[in-house]
Amino acid sequence: MSSEQREKIIRFYKGTEGAETAVKLVDMAEQVQRSQKFRISGFLDPYGQEIAETIAANYPGIRVDFEGGYPGAERQRAMFIDNTFGGNPGFDIVVIKASWNGQYEHIGHRDVLGALMGQGIERDRIGDILMSGETCRILADDKMGAFLLDNLTQIGRSGVSCELDDLANITPKEERCKEIKATVASLRVDSIAAAGYGSSRSRAASDIAADKLKLNWQPVKSASQSVKEGDVLSMRGRGRLEVVEVRGSTKKGRIGVLLKRYF
């Protein structure tokens, strides 16, 4: 791949939330191309996975596989692998089960993530965090898993005990899906968000201003930003919204859309 093509990819993502990820993944793909072996990334969010797929498509002879530790994982590691490589490398993902006494304090996902970041852990070393009553399961690479076993002793004000768990104990994620047929005044992101999440456009605009809404896993820059078929909106605490189909205009000039909301 020429340096011109490399710069084209990096320039495409420059100024976006994925700029740093794109540089890391391009470097990784080039290392695979030179070594004819494989490289594994840290845990990527869905936008990072999309970047990895774009990069792999631009490097002949390289493919990318993903694994998050269990079926339906949101955060996954990407493996760039040369098509001529004959080995069968693993993703080196483990799961750590943390337990605490919930009688005195409620611990949520944000508390667990805060405790991990407080240890100086970079976010890409951690996969999904799965909450369940007085326990949580933390997906991590194997080296980080060993670190957590020795060092994660407190979340918030609660002491925690950690043990290595089996990935097979994780129940595959089952998402509920609601199909929504609606008409909107325009394909502005605030109109689509209002229709999909059952709110007003002003409420959607407020959510955008508060940085709660993302479009294709990137921050929404403006309430007037346009969406198209295949786009995915996501809002903290309210799930994902997929624009499945744009069906054309009604007699009153509104636009028919088919949306799917995942909980």
Domains of the chain: 3-82 (3.30.1370.160), 93-169 (3.30.70.330), 177-262 (3.10.290.10)
Query: Taking each helix axis from N to C terminus, what angle separates 46-57 and 19-35, rounded to the nearest 10 degrees?
Result: 40
Nearest alpha-carbon partner for 221 in 209, 233, 232: 209
Indicate the helix (H) or strand (E) that contains 179.
strand 177-184
For residue 102, the model assigns a pLDDT of 79
- Ranges of residues in the chain with a pLDDT under 50 are none
Percentage of the chain exceeding pLDDT 90: 77
Tell me if 122 sits within 8 A of 113, measured CB to CB.
no
